[in-house]
Amino acid sequence: MKSTQNNNFDAIVIGAGFSGLYMLQRLREAGFSIRVFEANGDVGGVWYANRYPGAKCDSDSIIYNYTFSEEILQEWTWTSRFPEQAEILSYLNFVADKLDLRRDIQFNTRITSAHYDEVNKNWKIQTEDGAILSAKYFISGVGLLNAANVPNIKGLDSFKGDWYHTGKWPHEGVDFKGKRVGVIGTGSSGIQSIPIIAQEADHLTVFQRTPGYCTPARNHPYDPEFIRQTKANYSEIRNQTRHSLTGYLDQLINNRSALDDTPEEREREYQKVWERGGFAMGLTYNDLMLNPAANETIGEFIRSKISETVKDPEVAEKLKPTYLYGSKRPVLDTNYYETFNRENVSLVDVKRAPIVEITPKGIRTEEAEYELDIIVFATGFDGMTGPLFKIDIRGKEGVSLKEKWANGGHVRTYLGIANAGFPNMFMVTGPESPSALTNLPVSIEQHVEWIGDCIEYLRENGVETIEANVEAEEAWSKHCREIADKTLYSKGDSWYTGANIEGKPRGFLIYVGGVGNYRKKCDEVAAKGYEGFSLSTNRETVS
């Protein structure tokens, strides 16, 4: 199936991050012609663009990597528990070099449209500079968080200083020394960058709409013996993460309700996990994301920690979240709450006094104007669907993906991998897959391997097209919504639900049934000859 034309491929993949790099390796090894297109200047995806101060991973580094290559696992060594952006980018460059991937990646090239050609049964794909390409298979590896959200605040163009978004950070960095800096947003990028900026800036003003639940990362360098043991046990680590709930190594700590323990017992349990650091807080008890009363116990514990840490009681109160823990993504922090004890840091509650406009001198709220030299938008992304909607993707009869999801009243996919009406199109960690609630490399590997196996099956069986059935898609979407509604994940306003984007339809687009259960379901679908899909040869269609 090797293509002989430079503009005609078996598969075209968008994005050269974790997803695109492995998809390229997987299909190229199977003998397919494949080209990856990347808008940035090199590999890395989100880790290429997100270079803001303090940017780091919140998965333990020993599981934030590929596991398909034993050689790569043994040759690469992480330096610390939670690697910073530069180290993750170095890792992805190491993989790209090791596997000689760049020869099949076209950088600095943005894909503007991908339209399915029903006559030729292939995808016509256009780049920003007008080039037209074709591929039998169109695969999205755009990720969840690459459509930066800059709020539409009146007066931004009038600002005389400099402004930046954490998701599009200058490669040369930003000098905050002697500057009056304002950070808008206290999600993950804000919480990571604020302590670093505060150390440099003359004064930092934090504009907070909703406080976040932060727990300590407890980052530390790895010792050589730990690395040796890890490398000796990678097969066991791989198996554990692939069949876990979230793709992490952390397992449920107490298989009982938080309400079964006395307040004193709960305090001890939470304190142990607090000292350990990482994302295990939500696994302290089995009902923290099922029972609001149980959830309140972890919320109250974290709020008590804020009171202990922040010296000014008024500031401490502003920093205390009151929503359900976990209904917004919890954040691992390093000295975040401590930062508000600094004399050069101020906190502004913009829920109580909203931002009215950006002026030439700074930011004006309903109560005051704050003079600034630099504004940092730590306002996140149009997640889940945003990256897909940046491309004009059209399936059968010219229907766009955006139109399809709007017309149905909600986003719907089959397994988070495929869409009815869009033959031979696959999404890596798309909406309604486990995606954002997991350690993403684990979910990415599962998707890439499933898609790779599927495309090989189609070749071996002379299948021209594969397309999700409407009934299977509706059933999967309904299942995803039903299990999410049994939890507290869907009960909050967050980027999980699209609440951070003005006018965006609300919907919880993550499968919460667990990485292991999801893998089992996908494997069952494949084992049954791709149940829920219609497979077409030149002669017939099989559903």
Cβ proximity of 379 and 150 under 8 Å: yes
Backbone angles phi, psi at 214, to 5 degrees: -115, 140
Coil, helix or strand for 543?
coil
Burial 359-380 (b: 16+ CB within 10 A, else e): bebbbbbeeeebebbbbbbbbb
Q: What is the reported pLDDT for 3?
A: 38
Tell me the two tokens of residue 474: 């509706």
Is residue 157 within 8 Å of residue 393, measured between CB atoms?
Answer: no
Query: Do residues 349 and 99 lie in contact, with contact meaning Cβ atoms separated by under 8 Å?
Result: no
| pLDDT number for residue 4 | 35
Contact 183, 345 (CB under 8 A): no
Could you give the C-alpha distances from 370 to 160, 204, 285, 353, in angstroms and in order?
Answer: 13, 11, 43, 13
Going through 353-479 in order, the beta strands assigned E by DSSP cover 355-358, 362-365, 369-371, 374-377, 392-394, 425-427, 465-468
Dihedral of the alpha carbons of 529, 531, 532, 536, in degrees to the nearest 10:
20
CA 386 to chain centre: 12
Burial class of residue 71 in the structure, from the number of CB atoms within 10 Å of its CB (0-12 exposed, 13-18 middle, 19+ buried): exposed
Question: In the numeric block, which tokens belong to residue 328?
Answer: 């917004």
pLDDT for 176 equals 98
Q: Where in the chain is the domain with CATH 3.50.50.60?
A: 8-147+383-542
From residue 160, give the alpha-carbon distance in Å to each of 185, 194, 335, 365.
21, 22, 31, 18
Spatial CB neighbours of 241, under 8 Å, sequence gap ≥ 6: 63, 67, 247, 248, 249, 439, 442, 515
- What pLDDT was estimated at residue 502? 67
Phi and psi at residue 469, to the nearest 5°: -75, 145
Q: Report CA-CA distances (Å) from 119 to 124, 396, 462, 466.
A: 11, 10, 18, 15
Distance between CA atoms of residues 436 and 442, nearest Å: 11
**What is the reported pLDDT for 259?**
98
Distance CA 313, CA 264 (A): 24
For residue 125, which of 10, 1, 5, 12 has the smallest C-alpha distance?
A: 12
What pairs with residue 148 in β-bridges? 381
Radius of gyration of the chain (CA): 24
The pair of structure tokens assigned to 530 is 């791709």
Instruction: Using DSSP, state whether 147 is helix, strand or coil.
Output: coil
pLDDT, residue 263, reads 97
Q: Are 401 and 115 in contact (CB under 8 A)?
A: no
**What CATH number does the domain located at 8-147+383-542 have?**
3.50.50.60
Residue type, 462: G
d(CA 298, CA 284): 9
- Measured CA angle at 437 (ends 434, 438), to 5 deg: 75
* Three-class secondary structure assignment of 35-94: EEECCCCCCCCHHHHCCCCCCECCCCHHHCCCCCCHHHHHHCCCCECCCEHHHHHHHHHH
Instruction: Extract the tokens encoding 301.
Output: 């514990």
Closest CA to 183 of 370, 361, 57, 327: 370
pLDDT along the chain (543 residues), means of 10: 65 97 98 97 93 93 97 98 96 98 97 97 96 97 76 93 93 96 94 97 97 95 97 96 91 93 97 94 95 98 98 98 92 96 98 96 97 94 76 96 82 96 97 92 98 98 97 96 92 68 72 96 98 86 62
pLDDT computed for residue 147 by the predictor: 62
Instruction: Report the helix count and the strand count for the chain, using DSSP H and E.
Output: 16, 21
Q: Provide the pairing of β-strand 132-140 with 8-14.
A: parallel
* Residue type at position 98: K
Could you tell me where the DSSP H helices lie in 313-469?
A: 313-318, 336-339, 386-389, 401-407, 440-460
Task: Kindly tell me the burial class for residue 255, based on how many C-beta atoms sit within 10 Å of its own C-beta (0-12, 13-18, 19 or more).
Answer: exposed
Structure confidence at residue 499 (pLDDT): 59
The model's pTM is 0.94
